[in-house]
C-alpha cells in the first residue's frame, strides 16, 4: 500500500470522525440542531475546494506531496483552532429569534468550520486531479478511511471525553501529512516528516487542556444549576450517547417531580440531579426501602395505570435514574424490568450511588437492562401488565420546539403496535408527555394509538383509551381490552382527587372536561373526541398543527409544522407566541436555503466566471447534471438505509456507526472494482465468462445502476417483514445480517462516481475539480433534503426518488462526450485555459 493512499484514508477517517464529534460537541455546549446547521454549511468547504482546485490545480500538481501535506496539516490545526475560537464566541442559539447580532456569530461559526473541511477536500480533490488513472483506488481509500473513521470515533468516545477526542481526531490531519511526505524520495523528506509528526503529537496531547475545554452555554440547565450555592458535580461519565453529569446540591435540594398534583403536600426525598449533555435534570432519588417517603409519586399523572391493575408486572421504558421504577414499586409491582439506553446511567445507580439509591437496580424484584426501549420490547417474549413510557426528554428541550428533526421510532404506529402486543390480558400501556398549549403531543399520540389499534384489527379501539392532564403533563392509557365501568370509575376518582382533568374517556360527557386546569376552550377534550369519532380525518386536516400519526416510514413524531399556519404564527412571535412555531423544521428549511445560496455563490458562480473554454458547453452541463444527480442519489439511499437499519439494530449510535461505515467501506470496495469491471465489459470478443458476455451490451455504469435499482426496491419490499421475523436475534447476529444486506447495495453504489470521473479525467481533465465540487454540494444539499422529504412523504419516497435519479444519471452519460470527438485539438481542453480565458 502506498503511503499516499494511506494518507488519504487517514485523512478521510479524520474528516468523518470530526463531523460526528462536532455534532457531539455542539450538542453539549449549545443545542443539537445547530450542529446540523453549522456542519452542513461547513461541508460546503468541500464544494469550495472544487472551485479552488479548478483555479490552482496546475500549480499545485507540480508539488503534490507538499500541497497535500500542507492542506492535511491545516485540516487538523484549523479544526482545533476553529473549535477553540467558536467556544469563545458569545453565540446564543436560544436568542437567535430576538437578537440579530446572533446571526453574525452564526455566520462566523460557518466560516470557522468551513476552513478545516475545505483543506481536507483539497487533499482528496488534488489526488483525483493528479492521478487520473487511479481514481477508483483513490476513491476506495477515501471511502474505506471514512468508514473506519465512523466506527473509530464511536470507539474513541468510549475511551475519551469529547474534548480530548476532538484533539486526537484533529491529529489525524498532520499524521496524513506525514504519510504524504514519506512518498518523497531522498533526504529532503526527513525534516518535514519529523516536523509534521511533532505537530500531530502536539495536537493530540501537547496543547493545554483549557484551550478546547468545553464551555457550556450559560443558558444550559447545568450551567444555571451550578450557580446555585453549594452545588457540585459529583460524577461525570461520557460515551457516544452523551455526557452525563451528576450534581449534588446540599443547601437547596433538587425536587424533581413533574406532573405533580397541586393537592400534594409532600416534599420529595433528597435527590441527585442527572444532566445529559447539560440538559435536564432527571433525578436519582434517595431510597431506603421505605415506601412512605415516595407517596408524592402517587400524586402524579404517571400513577394512573397502577390504579387499574393490582400487583402488576411492569416494564419502564427509559428508566434513567429510576423515578418510575420507584413509582411501580410504590404501587406493589411484583416485578419491574427497567430499560435504559445508556449503560453509564445504569452504572451510576448500580455502583457509584448504589447506597443512595437503595440498591434500586439490584433488588430481586427489579431487573435493569441496557437496551433501546422499542427493541427491548420487540425482542422479548414477556407480557406485561403495565408498560410505562415516562417523560424522556427534558422540559427545556421539548419547550424549545426543536425536537422536530429528531427521528423517534419510539412513538410511531408500528412501535405502539409492538408495545400493545406485549401487554398481558387487560394490561395497560401508559405514555406521559409534557403538556403543550395548544395541544400537539398528546393529540398526536392519541391519534397514533388509535391507528395502532386499527392496524391490529381491534374492534372499537376508542373504548380502550383514556387521557388525563395535569397543569404540566398528560398521560395516555391504552388498555388491552375495553375499559370496564369499574376502570372508568377508578379513573374518575383518581383524577378528581388530584385535580387532574379528564381529556378523554369512552362515553365522557362534555361537561366533565376542563374542570380544574381550565382553558378558555376545552381544546384537549374537543380534539380527542374528534379523533376518536367519525370525523378524525377532517379534524386532522383542519387542525393548524400536523397531527398525522408518525410511522416508521415517516418517524417524525415531534414535527407539527404546517406551512398553512406559518404566516399566522410568525406574526404572533412578538406577542409571546414564538413557542408555537416549530423551530426545528424552520431551521432545517433555512439550512437548505442557505446551502443552496452558498453552493451557487461558492462553487457554481466562480466556476462559471472562470469557465474559459475548457469543454463544450453541452459536456459541461452533462458533467454537472451527472455528479449532482448521483450525489443526491447516493445520500438519499444512505440516509434512508440508516433509518431502516436503525429500526433493526435498535440502537441510535451503534446503528448509525455500523450502517455508515458498512456503506462507506463497501462503496469503497465497489469503487476500487469499478474500473476493472468497465475494462472487462469493454473487451468485447473472446471473453469467456458467460455472465460478462450477457452484460456486454451495457456499460459498467448501466450494470451498476440496474443492480442498485433492483436491490434498493427489493429491500423496500422484503426488509420490513424480514426484520420483524429476525428481531429476537442477538446483537452480533443482527449486525452481521445488516452488513450482509448493506454490502451488495453499497458495493454497486460505489461505482457511478469513479466510473464517470475516470471518463471525465480522460476526456475533459479540467472538469475533474468541477465534478468534485458539484458532488460535494450535492452531498450537503441531499442530506438536508432527504430529511425534509422524509418528513413530508416518508423514506420510501426518498428511496424511490434515489433510484429514479440513478437511472437519470445513467441516461445522462449514455452518449460519449462531444469533446471526445474533438480530442486533443489544441488547447481547447487544456487545463490552463480555465484560468486564462
Nearest to 546 by CA among 593, 508, 519, 584: 584
- CB under 8 A, 24+ apart: contacts of 570-573: 573/97
433: β partners: 474
610 binds another protein (CB under 8 A): no
Among 1, 460, 509, 518, binds another protein (CB under 8 A): 518
Q: According to CB under 8 A, which residues from 463 to 482 bind another protein?
A: 471-472
Q: According to CB under 8 A, which residues from 27 to 46 bind another protein?
A: none
Q: How far is CA 57 from CA 639, 641, 707, in A?
A: 32, 36, 35
Q: Coil, helix or strand for 415?
A: helix
DSSP one-letter code for 250: S
CA distance 75 to 125: 14
223 binds another protein (CB under 8 A): yes
CA distance 546 to 523: 15
Q: According to CB under 8 A, which residues from 163 to 192 bind another protein?
A: none
516 binds another protein (CB under 8 A): yes
User: By C-beta, is 560 or 624 nearer to another protein?
Assistant: 560
Helix (H) or strand (E) holding 280: strand 279-285
Q: How far is the CB of 561 from another protein (least distance, A)?
A: 13
Q: How far is the CB of 710 from another protein (least distance, A)?
A: 46
User: By C-beta, is 439 or 670 nearer to another protein?
Assistant: 439
Among 113, 118, 545, 715, binds another protein (CB under 8 A): 545
> Torsion angle of alpha carbons 621, 626, 631, 635, nearest 10°?
140
Q: How far is the CB of 568 from another protein (least distance, A)?
A: 7
CA distance 72 to 562: 44
Among 232, 267, 365, 682, binds another protein (CB under 8 A): 267
CA distance 375 to 731: 11
- Binding map of another protein across residues 482-511, x = CB under 8 A, - = no contact: -----------------x------------
Among 104, 252, 605, 815, binds another protein (CB under 8 A): 252
| Cis peptide leading into residue 281 (ω within 30°) | yes
155 binds another protein (CB under 8 A): no
Q: Half-sphere exposure (CA, 13 Å, Cβ side) for 38?
A: 33
User: By C-beta, is 560 or 626 nearer to another protein?
Assistant: 560
Please answer whether residues 3 and 183 qualify as being in contact, where contact means their C-beta atoms are separated by less than 8 angstroms: yes
- Binding map of another protein across residues 371-410, x = CB under 8 A, - = no contact: ------------------------xx--xxx---------
575 binds another protein (CB under 8 A): yes
131 binds another protein (CB under 8 A): no
CA 808, chain centre distance (Å)? 29
Among 525, 543, 626, 817, binds another protein (CB under 8 A): 543
Among 289, 425, 576, 826, binds another protein (CB under 8 A): 576
User: By C-beta, is 577 or 816 nearer to another protein?
Assistant: 577
- Binding map of another protein across residues 71-110, x = CB under 8 A, - = no contact: ---------------------x-xx-xxx-----------
Q: According to CB under 8 A, which residues from 411 to 450 bind another protein?
A: 436-439
User: By C-beta, is 210 or 520 nearer to another protein?
Assistant: 520
Backbone angles phi, psi at 667, to 5 degrees: -65, -40
CA distance 834 to 198: 38
Q: Coil, helix or strand for 626?
A: helix
Q: According to CB under 8 A, which residues from 279 to 338 bind another protein?
A: none
Q: How far is CA 595 from CA 100, 400, 482, 592, 741, in A?
A: 20, 24, 52, 5, 32
Q: How far is the CB of 541 from another protein (least distance, A)?
A: 10
User: By C-beta, is 263 or 489 nearer to another protein?
Assistant: 263
CA distance 384 to 367: 14
Q: Half-sphere exposure (CA, 13 Å, Cβ side) for 63?
A: 8
DSSP one-letter code for 438: S
Nearest to 783 by CA among 41, 151, 30: 41
Among 572, 625, 722, 788, binds another protein (CB under 8 A): 572
Nearest to 163 by CA among 198, 218, 210: 210
Among 133, 218, 232, 310, binds another protein (CB under 8 A): 218
Q: Which stretch binds another protein (CB under 8 A): 144-152, 523-531, 683-691, 784-792?
A: 523-531
Q: Which stretch binds another protein (CB under 8 A): 51-59, 214-222, 425-433, 551-559?
A: 214-222
694: left (phi over 0), alpha (psi -120 to 50) or beta: alpha
Q: How far is the CB of 726 from another protein (least distance, A)?
A: 41
272: β partners: 284
Residues with Cβ < 8 Å from 127, sequence gap 6 or more? 4, 8, 64, 68, 138
Among 251, 459, 567, 721, binds another protein (CB under 8 A): 251
Q: How far is the CB of 326 from another protein (least distance, A)?
A: 16
CA 740, chain centre distance (Å)? 23
User: By C-beta, is 164 or 439 nearer to another protein?
Assistant: 439
CA distance 62 to 66: 9
250 binds another protein (CB under 8 A): no
Q: According to CB under 8 A, which residues from 551 to 570 bind another protein?
A: 568-569
User: By C-beta, is 396 or 716 nearer to another protein?
Assistant: 396
Please answer whether residues 196 and 73 qualify as being in contact, where contact means their C-beta atoms are separated by less than 8 angstroms: yes
537 binds another protein (CB under 8 A): no
The site for another protein (CB under 8 A) is made up of 92, 94-95, 97-99, 217-220, 223-224, 227-229, 251-252, 255-260, 262-267, 395-396, 399-401, 436-439, 471-472, 499, 516-521, 523, 526-527, 535, 538-539, 542-545, 568-569, 572, 574-580
Amino acid at each position: 500500500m502506498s503511503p499516499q493512499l494511506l494518507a488519504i484514508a487517514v485523512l478521510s477517517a479524520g474528516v468523518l470522525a470530526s463531523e460526528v464529534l462536532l455534532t457531539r460537541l455542539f450538542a453539549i455546549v449549545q443545542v443539537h440542531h445547530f450542529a446540523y446547521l453549522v456542519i452542513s454549511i461547513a461541508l460546503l468547504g468541500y464544494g469550495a475546494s472544487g472551485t479552488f482546485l479548478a483555479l490552482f490545480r496546475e500549480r499545485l500538481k507540480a508539488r503534490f506531496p507538499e500541497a497535500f501535506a500542507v492542506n492535511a496539516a491545516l485540516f487538523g490545526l484549523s479544526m482545533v483552532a476553529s473549535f477553540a475560537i467558536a467556544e469563545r464566541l458569545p453565540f446564543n442559539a436560544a436568542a437567535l429569534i430576538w437578537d440579530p447580532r446572533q446571526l453574525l456569530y452564526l455566520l462566523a461559526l460557518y466560516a470557522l468550520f468551513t476552513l478545516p473541511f475545505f483543506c481536507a477536500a483539497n487533499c482528496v480533490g488534488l489526488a483525483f486531479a493528479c492521478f487520473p488513472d487511479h481514481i477508483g483506488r483513490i476513491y476506495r481509500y477515501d471511502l474505506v478511511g471514512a468508514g473506519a473513521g465512523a466506527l473509530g470515533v464511536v470507539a474513541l468516545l468510549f475511551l475519551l471525553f469529547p474534548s480530548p477526542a476532538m484533539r486526537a481526531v484533529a491529529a489525524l490531519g498532520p499524521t496524513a501529512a506525514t504519510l504524504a511526505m514519506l512518498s518523497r524520495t531522498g533526504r529532503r523528506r526527513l525534516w518535514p516528516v519529523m516536523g509534521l509528526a511533532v505537530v500531530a503529537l502536539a495536537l493530540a496531547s501537547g496543547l493545554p487542556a483549557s484551550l478546547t475545554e468545553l464551555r457550556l452555554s450559560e443558558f444550559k440547565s447545568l450551567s444555571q444549576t451550578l450557580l446555585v450555592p453549594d452545588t457540585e458535580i459529583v460524577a461525570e461519565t461520557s460515551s457516544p450517547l452523551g455526557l452525563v453529569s451528576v450534581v449534588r446540591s446540599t443547601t437547596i435540594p433538587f425536587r424533581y417531580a413533574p406532573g405533580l398534583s397541586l393537592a400534594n403536600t409532600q416534599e420529595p426525598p433528597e435527590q441527585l440531579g442527572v444532566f445529559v449533555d447539560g440538559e435536564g435534570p432527571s433525578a436519582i432519588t434517595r431510597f431506603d426501602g421505605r415506601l412512605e417517603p415516595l407517596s408524592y409519586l402517587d400524586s402524579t399523572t404517571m400513577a394512573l395505570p397502577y390504579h387499574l391493575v393490582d400487583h402488576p408486572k411492569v416494564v419502564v421504558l427509559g428508566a434513567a435514574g429510576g423515578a418510575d421504577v420507584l413509582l411501580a414499586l410504590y404501587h406493589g409491582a411484583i416485578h419491574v424490568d427497567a430499560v435504559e439506553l445508556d449503560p453509564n446511567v445504569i452504572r451510576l445507580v448500580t455502583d457509584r450511588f448504589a447506597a443512595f439509591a437503595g440498591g434500586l437496580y439490584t433488588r430481586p424484584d427489579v431487573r435493569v437492562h441496557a437496551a433501546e426501549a422499542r427493541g427491548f420490547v420487540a425482542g422479548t417474549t414477556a407480557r406485561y401488565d403495565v408498560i410505562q413510557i415516562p417523560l424522556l426528554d427534558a422540559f427545556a428541550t421539548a419547550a424549545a420546539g426543536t425536537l422536530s428533526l429528531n427521528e423517534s421510532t419510539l412513538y410511531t404506529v408500528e412501535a405502539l403496535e409492538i408495545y400493545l402486543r406485549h401487554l398481558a390480558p387487560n394490561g395497560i400501556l401508559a405514555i406521559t408527555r409534557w403538556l403543550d398549549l395548544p395541544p400537539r403531543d398528546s393529540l398526536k399520540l392519541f391519534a397514533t394509538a388509535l391507528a395502532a389499534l386499527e392496524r391490529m384489527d381491534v374492534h372499537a379501539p376508542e373504548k380502550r383509551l383514556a387521557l388525563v392532564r395535569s397543569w404540566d403533563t398528560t398521560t395516555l392509557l391504552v388498555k388491552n381490552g375495553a375499559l370496564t365501568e369499574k376502570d372508568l370509575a377508578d379513573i374518575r376518582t383518581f383524577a378528581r382527587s388530584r385535580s387532574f382533568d379528564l381529556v378523554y374517556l369512552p362515553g365522557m360527557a362534555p361537561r366533565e372536561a376542563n374542570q380544574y386546569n381550565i382553558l378558555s376552550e376545552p381544546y384537549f377534550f374537543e380534539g380527542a373526541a374528534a379523533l376518536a369519532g367519525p370525523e378524525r380525518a377532517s379534524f386532522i386536516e383542519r387542525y393548524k398543527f400536523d397531527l398525522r400519526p408518525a410511522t416508521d416510514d415517516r418517524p417524525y413524531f415531534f414535527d407539527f409544522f404546517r406551512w398553512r399556519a406559518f404566516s399566522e404564527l410568525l406574526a404572533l412571535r412578538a406577542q409571546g407566541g414564538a413557542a408555537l412555531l416549530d423551530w426545528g423544521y424552520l431551521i432545517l428549511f433555512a439550512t437548505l436555503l442557505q446551502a443552496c445560496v452558498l453552493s451557487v455563490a461558492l462553487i457554481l458562480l466562480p466556476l462559471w466566471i472562470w469557465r474559459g473554454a475548457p469543454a463544450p458547453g453541452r459536456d459541461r452541463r452533462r458533467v454537472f447534471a451527472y455528479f449532482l444527480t448521483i450525489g443526491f442519489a447516493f445520500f438519499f439511499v444512505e440516509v434512508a438505509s440508516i433509518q431502516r437499519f436503525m429500526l433493526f439494530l435498535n440502537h441510535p449510535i451503534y446503528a448509525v456507526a455500523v450502517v455508515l461505515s458498512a456503506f462507506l467501506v463497501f462503496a469503497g470496495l465497489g469503487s476500487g472494482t469499478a474500473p476493472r469491471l468497465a475494462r472487462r465489459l469493454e473487451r468485447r470478443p473472446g471473453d469467456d465468462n458467460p455472465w460478462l458476455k450477457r452484460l456486454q451490451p451495457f456499460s459498467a455504469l448501466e450494470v451498476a445502476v440496474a443492480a442498485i435499482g433492483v436491490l434498493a426496491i427489493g429491500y423496500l419490499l422484503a426488509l420490513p417483514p424480514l426484520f420483524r421475523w429476525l428481531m429476537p436475534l442477538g446483537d452480533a447476529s443482527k449486525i452481521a445480517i445488516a452488513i450482509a444486506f448493506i454490502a451488495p447495495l453499497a458495493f454497486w453504489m460505489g461505482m457511478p462516481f469513479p466510473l464517470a470521473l475516470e471518463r471525465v479525467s480522460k476526456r475533459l481533465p479540467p472538469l475533474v475539480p468541477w465534478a468534485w465540487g458539484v458532488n460535494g454540494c450535492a452531498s450537503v444539499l441531499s442530506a438536508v433534503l432527504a430529511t425534509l422529504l422524509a418528513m413530508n412523504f416518508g423514506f420510501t419516497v426518498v428511496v424511490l426518488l434515489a433510484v429514479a435519479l440513478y437511472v437519470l444519471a445513467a441516461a445522462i452519460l449514455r452518449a460519449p462526450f462531444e469533446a471526445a470527438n474533438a480530442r486533443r485539438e489544441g488547447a481547447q481542453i487544456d487545463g490552463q485555459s480555465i484560468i486564462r480565458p
